Amino acid sequence: METIDFKYICTMLKKNPFIFLFMAAMLVLSCKSSPEVENDKRIDDVPNDTSHSADNTVNDLELKISESQDRLDLETKYFLLLELIAERSNLHAEDFHQLLGLTLARDYTGANQLSDDLILDAARHFEKALRENPSSDSLHMIMAQYLFGLMTLSTDLSTPYGDVQTMSDRGMESINNALSYGANPAECYYLKGKMYRYQNNFLDAMEAFRESVNSDPSFIIAYEAGFNVSTELGYPDQAKSWLAEGIERNPSSYELSSILGHQYASEQDYSRALDVMSTYLDKAASIPKEAIFDLGYFFEKDNQRTKAIEQYKLAIAQDSTFLDVYYRLGTMYMESSQWNDAYETFSELLKRLPLNHSYQEVIRKTLETIEREL
């Protein structure tokens, strides 16, 4: 029977250039200043003459936005945020981070989720906030992220910032302003690297990612970005060196260890993949279920079925809702002609799949195949 290799599919998605481009727009949201290092004036510093009524209005709007997010459409959220910003007595950078998130929201195909008109309308609100708070490092970074979002839009829009190069220049200016006002250098250089990479300026992108990890060795996503660009350029050894360096500096990073392990697996160097994940598991203070799955997957690819089965069972013991593991475990039982165990495992998977899941029919046919062997 032809099976569906979920882990292989996930690995391929990581390499897909379109997905990489889509994620570039979403990853910039990680460049968000923490409240502890925020240089903007905190909302706690409300003037003594702020009215009780104004406080209630702000609180009501915050509750509408935070407690009802799942039930609000994006346009409603957008206008509630604008109303909240207007009611504030002082700058509250989190409002603009949320506004930025709406303008950058994309679906799985990369299409914009907010209307084009509102994406462009956001510009005047960011610009107004910057005019009123010119020394805010957060607002300068938000402006840079917004411009990068405009650069990567899936549709052509006539923006007030001109072509891609002009937007990039303005974005770089915003990043430099953010740096001068105390923004996190690792986040700033990382965003510079993403802008350079989008314009196929790979050398400057690599330099920017290097600046990012040099300023903060624990800034994990910059190592991943260096890996991705090196892979795109066709330099697999350089790509792996980015991950190895990141792991050496951050031995508890599952993300980096997993990516490096799967890179070795894609090169059919399964012993190295196993070594990477085993080393991580030895050093990790707490072990995520995904790491156990990865180790099982590498054992499976290395034709060590007994050890693969052992790891998959451990992963299920840690989280019985981890559906991918049931499929891999059932496949291992089938390949080992352990038909009863295979039937039990796939039956459990079918029971746990959502009603309209696309793989329900595949699992039913798999069970029919197993029944003929019982």
Average pLDDT across the chain, whole number: 85
Q: Is residue 42 part of a domain?
A: no
CA atoms within 13 A on the CB side of 372: 6
Q: Of 162, 183, 204, which residue is a domain's last? A: 183
Range of 259's domain? 251-319
Whole-number percent of the chain with pLDDT over 70: 80
Q: How far apart are the first and last CA of the chain?
A: 16
Of 119-128, 153-162, 199-208, 359-368, the one with minimum mean pLDDT is 153-162
DSSP codes, 27-84: HGGG----GGG--SPPTT---TT--HHHHHHHHHHHHHHHHTGGGS-HHHHHHHHHHH
Q: Is residue 150 part of a domain?
A: yes
| Per-residue pLDDT reduced to its tens digit, 169-179 | 999 999 999 99
63 — pLDDT class (breaks 50, 70, 90): low
Is the whole model's pTM more than 0.85, yes or no?
no
360 and 325 together in one domain: yes
Q: How many domains is the chain built from?
A: 3
CATH number at residue 297: 1.25.40.10
Residues 327 and 301 in one domain: no
Same domain, 306 and 336: no
Q: Is 219 inside a domain boundary? A: no
pLDDT of residue 174: 97
- What's residue 14's pLDDT? 43
311 lies in the same domain as 255: yes
Residues paired with residue 350 on neighbouring β-strands, in sequence order: none
What pLDDT, on the 0 to 100 scale, is given for residue 255? 97
Which of 183, 202, 232 finishes a domain?
183
Q: Domain for residue 107, yes or no?
A: no
Highest mean pLDDT pick, 38-42, 289-293, 353-357: 289-293
Residue showing tokens 């990581």: 14
CA dist 208 → 189, 196, 295, 341, 347 (Å): 5, 8, 33, 52, 50
Structural domain contains residue 332: yes
Domain for residue 312, yes or no? yes
Q: Indicate whether 30 belongs to any domain.
A: no
pLDDT grade for 29, boundaries at 50, 70 and 90: very low
Residue 216 included in any domain: no
Residues 315 and 256 in one domain: yes
Estimate to the nearest angstrom the gap between the alpha carbon of 60 and the chain centroid.
Answer: 31
* Confidence (pLDDT) at 54: 59
Q: Find the range with the poorest average confidence among 158-162, 233-237, 329-333.
A: 158-162
Residue 166 three-state SS: helix
Q: Which of 303, 319, 335 is the last residue of a domain?
A: 319
Q: CA quadruple 367, 370, 371, 374: dihedral positive or negative?
A: negative
Q: What is the mean pLDDT of residues 325-350?
A: 96
The confidence band for 233, taking pLDDT boundaries of 50, 70 and 90, is: very high
Range among 67-71, 77-81, 204-208 with highest mean pLDDT value: 204-208
Same domain, 297 and 328: no
- Same domain for 263 and 284? yes
For tokens 């039982």, name the residue: 333
What confidence tier does 107 reach under pLDDT thresholds 50, 70, 90?
confident
Q: Which of 270, 263, 261 is nearest to 291 (CA)?
A: 261
> Which is more confidently placed, 356 or 264?
264
Question: Do 121 and 177 belong together in one domain?
Answer: yes
Q: What is the pLDDT of residue 230?
A: 97
pLDDT value at 51 more than 90: no
